[in-house]
Every structure is written in structure tokens, then in C-alpha cells.
Amino acid sequence: MNKIYINYGEDAISMTMELMERAGVSALLGPGMNVVIKPNLVTARPADGGATTHPQIVEGIVLFLKKNGVDDITIAEGAWVGEGSTHHAFKRCGYHEIGQKYNIRMVDTKKDRPVTKRFKDMSLKLCETPLNADFLINVPVLKGHCQTVMTCCLKNLKGCIPDGEKRRYHSEGLDKPIAALNAVLRPHLHIVDSICGDLTFEEGGNPVQSDRIMLGFDPVLLDSYSAGLIGYQPDEIGHLKLARQYGVGNYADHSTEIVELNADIKPKKRLVRSGIAKKLSSYIEEDSACSACYANLIFALNNSRRKPPGKLKIGQGWKDRQCAGQGIGNCTSGCEHYVRGCPPAAVDILDFLKKQL
């Protein structure tokens, strides 16, 4: 388990298959298995923007599975709250083509049956399809996040819960429920898309080319290693620290074996994260904001040439509260001025900011 496999190159299909072969994944598979693949399609934007999982990686997984006699394959995902239909994300991101080409089921977890599980003092609702998989493969993108600092294996499982549960996670603070979710839902394999993730924003737009795919069986190991790649200590990531405490996995350390494939073409440039999101957050007064709403605000602020006159209020914690100043989203309707939407589009926030300044 204390091993991470890394492959470098530009052919994501063959890179993925090489990794699975080298890691001995075939020994874990059986012809009668129900295998579920969980990519990151948080938004309906092509993978080259740094937000979503490259479909070529998933195609490589499918080809490897079929090569090893597995035909019962499902791709399951739920786009973020308010972003529109998962169907649109499947289509725009190239997954419908994979489904049709290989006769694979596509499941929108927003429409999946919820199942309640308990962990410690928490009650958690999970989507039935990934929960009941014989073999669950998690395929996240290594990228930045304006609320949780980074997102990789652990946070990607948020696509396996209903929308109402996503809102609750934000109202309670993301770190504890994300860690608990990973203690209950345990993927059998994690394949990290680190080809060109956006190291600043979850919704993409600032891709950093790395030409790298990583594979492992311990999500905490992979996430802690990935945190180091982009300049963070594991304990700086709240949900990662808690997941370790909950027994989900172990941090990468000097004893971790790194198995590199095609190391001769390993990119020389070190990954550098941006401080833009942290700087822009200083203009925000956030209380239990959902990711889609917060990310759209960050995007709008990043594209606005003017500094807000005061802190912008955002989040579920502002519901039914009367207050002065400006608010973002329907939850802040009690503010003196606010922009409508759940979430409001970034372009509407930009227009709102222009009118307020």
C-alpha cells in the first residue's frame, strides 16, 4: 500500500494502461465484477482547461478492464450544485462518446438512490451506484480549490453524494464530512489526472501542464504526496489531516516507494501554485458557501479590474439575515444589494460588481 506509481508522457490512454499493468491491477479483477469509474466532471468544461478528468484516462481504464474480462462497467458522476445537468458535462467532456463506443452505462448520481450510512456521530447519505460497486475506481484531477486549498482523491468523492448532502457539507464545514465520507466509501483504486490541472481554481481556466498520471491504493498517501508537489504540507489540508486520523490511510514519507515509468521524459519544471485565490478571498465574508457559488465569485473577482468597496457576503449562513453591504447569491437576499442566482453566473457577478463600484 505504501507505494505510488507515476507515468509521464502525452498519450493518456497508453499511460493509464501501463500504470494499471505495472501496479498489478489485473490480479484484483474478475469477469463477473461490477466496476464503477468515478471521474471529476464538476463542470461542463473540456479537460484541457484544468478542471475535469481527461476522457482518455477513463478510456484507458475501460480498455484495461475489458482486456481482463470485465464488461459490467459504469461511469458515475454528479456535476456540482447549480452547474446544470450532469448529462451536459458527460457530453461536453467527451464521456458520451466513450459510453457509446464501449457500451458503458452512464449514471448521473444526482438522480441516484440515496443510502444512509453512519460514521462516528455522523449520518451520511451516499449514492447507491458507487456504494454498491464490486470495484470502485476514483479518477480525480489534482488541482487547487478556493475553500479546501486543494482537491484530489479525497474530495473527489463528493460527486458520490446527493446535492442536498453537498449543501449540508458546506453548511457544516467541508473538512469533517469529506473525511468521514472517505471512511465509509472506500474506492479500490485511485488514478490521479495530473496532466494539466488548474492549481488555483477548481473550475479551471489556468491549467499547469505536467504530463503526469499517478496511481495508488491509498487516497491519503496520494493526496499527501500531491500536496507536497504543489507546495503544501499535508496538515495544511483540513480534510486530509482528518482522514488520516479517521484511519483512511497514511501520509507519504521517506519510506514511500515511488515507481516512475518513462522517467526520462519527466517534466523538469516544478509545479507552482498561485496565491490569487488566497488574495481574492480577503474581499469575501463567507459563511457556509457552496463550492459553485464561491468559485464563481472568485472567478469574477479575478476578472474584475476594480476592488470591491467592502467585503462581499456569500453562503448559506446569510439566509434570512438583514445586513448592509453587498451579497452574492440568493442566500444573501437580506443584504442591501445582492446578485440573484443559485449559484449566480460569474458574468452576472461581474455585471453586479460594475454597477456597485
Check pLDDT > 90 for residue 297.
no
170 — pLDDT class (breaks 50, 70, 90): confident
Task: Look over the chain and give the mean of its residue pLDDT values, rounded to a whole number.
Answer: 91
Phi, psi of 307 (to 5 degrees): -80, 135
Distance from C-alpha of 223 to C-alpha of 192, rounded to nearest angstrom: 9
Distance from C-alpha of 331 to C-alpha of 278, rounded to nearest angstrom: 23
At residue 82, the pLDDT reads: 59
Cβ-based neighbour number of residue 345 at 10 Å:
14
What mean pLDDT is predicted for residues 143-150? 86
How far is residue 299 from each of residues 32, 87, 134, 233, measured CA to CA in Å? 45, 24, 39, 26
Check pLDDT > 90 for residue 71.
yes
Cis previous bond, 343, omega within 30: yes
What mean pLDDT is predicted for residues 246-255? 96
Check pLDDT > 70 for residue 286.
yes
Distance from C-alpha of 274 to C-alpha of 138, rounded to nearest angstrom: 26
At residue 241, the pLDDT reads: 98
Check pLDDT > 80 for residue 16.
yes
8 A C-beta contact, residue 295 and residue 79: no
3-state secondary structure of 328: strand
What mean pLDDT is predicted for residues 220-249? 94
At residue 274, the pLDDT reads: 67
Domain ranges for the chain, please list them: 3-265, 276-356
80 — pLDDT class (breaks 50, 70, 90): confident
Check pLDDT > 60 for residue 83.
no
Distance from C-alpha of 142 to C-alpha of 144, rounded to nearest angstrom: 7
Under CATH, to which class is 3-265 assigned?
alpha beta
Sheet order of strands, 105-108 included: 105-108, 72-77, 34-39, 135-139, 189-194, 212-216, 3-8, 257-261
Check pLDDT > 70 for residue 223.
yes
